Chains A and B, each alone.
Chain A
Amino acid sequence: MEDDKELVKQAQGGDQAAFKKLVERYQRKVYSICYGMLKNPEDSMDASQETFIKVFRYIEKFNYESKFYTWLYRIAVNVCIDHIRKNKKRKNVEYDDAFSQVAEVGDENIVPSTLGLNPEKAYGRKELREKMLEALEKIPEKHRTILILRESEGLNYDEIADVLEVSKGTVMSRLFHARKYFQEALAVYLEKDKDAG
Chain B
Amino acid sequence: MTLSTLQISQIQQFHDGEIEEASVSVLLSTSSHARVYLAALQELSEATKGAMEEAWEKADSATAADDWSKAAFSATRLLDQELPELAPMLERFHDDEVSTMESASILALMQEREDVASYLERLDILSDTVKGFDFSEGVSFDGFFDKVAAELNIETKPSLNVVKLDHSFSYEEHAVLVQRFFDDDVTSSEKQRVQSWIDAENSEVVGALEACEELSLATTIATEQAVEQADFTDLWSNIEKELTSTKEQVVGPPSAHVLQLGAFKQEKADASFFQKYQQGIFTAVAAVLLLGVFGPQMFGTEKHTVEKIVIIDGITSEPGTSVRIAAPVQPVSAEVEEEDEEESTVIWITDESLENKDVKDKEPLKDNETEASEDPI
Contact = CB atoms under 8 A, between A and B. Distances in A.
Interface of A: 16, 19-20, 23-24, 27-28, 31-32, 35-36, 41, 44-45, 48-49, 52-54, 56-58, 61, 71, 74-75, 78, 109-115, 117, 119, 122-123, 129-130, 132-133, 135-136, 147-148, 150-152, 156-157, 167-169, 172-173, 175-176, 179, 182-183, 186
Interface of B: 53-57, 171-172, 175-176, 179-180, 183-185, 203-208, 210-212, 214-227, 229-232, 235-236, 238-240, 242-243, 246, 376-377
Contact of A112 (B184, B211, B220): B211
Given A75-B376, A182-B215, A27 B54 contact: no
B183 A150 contact: yes
Contact of B211 (A57, A61, A78, A183): A183
Nearest to A107: B172
| A-side interface mostly | helix
Contacts of A75: 376-377
Contacts of B377: 54, 58, 71, 74-75, 78
| B-side interface mostly | helix
B203 A112 contact: yes
Nearest to A78: B377
Given A45-B230, A151-B219, A157-B185, A56 B53 contact: no
A176 B225 contact: no
Nearest to A131: B222
Given A122-B218, A132-B225, A157-B183, A169 B211 contact: no
Given A36-B226, A122-B217, A172-B54, 4 more contacts: A49-B242, A112-B205, A136-B218, A179-B215
Contacts of B215: 110, 147, 151, 179, 182-183, 186
Contact of A151 (B56, B171, B216): B216
Nearest to A42: B230
A117 B239 contact: no
Contact of A117 (B185, B208, B214): B214
Nearest to B210: A114
Contacts of B221: 122-123, 129, 132-133
A136 B54 contact: no
Given A156-B183, A175-B179, A169 B222 contact: no
Given A151-B219, A152-B220, A41 B230 contact: yes
Nearest to A62: B376
A113 B217 contact: no
Nearest to B232: A27
B219 A112 contact: no
Contacts of B211: 110-115, 179, 183
A94 B196 CA distance: 43
A45 to B, nearest CB: 6
Contacts of B231: 45
A20 B203 CA distance: 49
Contacts of A135: 218, 222
B191 to A, nearest CB: 15
A148 B227 CA distance: 12
Given A27-B235, A156-B185, A115 B223 contact: no
Between A54, A119, A151, A169, the greatest number of chain B beta carbons within 10 A of the residue's beta carbon is seen for: A151
Nearest to B234: A45
B250 to A, nearest CB: 10
Given A117-B214, A135-B218, A112 B53 contact: no
A114 B210 CA distance: 6
Contacts of B239: 23, 49, 52-53, 56
A31 B212 CA distance: 24
Given A49-B235, A148-B219, A179 B212 contact: yes
Given A152-B219, A172-B54, A28 B229 contact: no
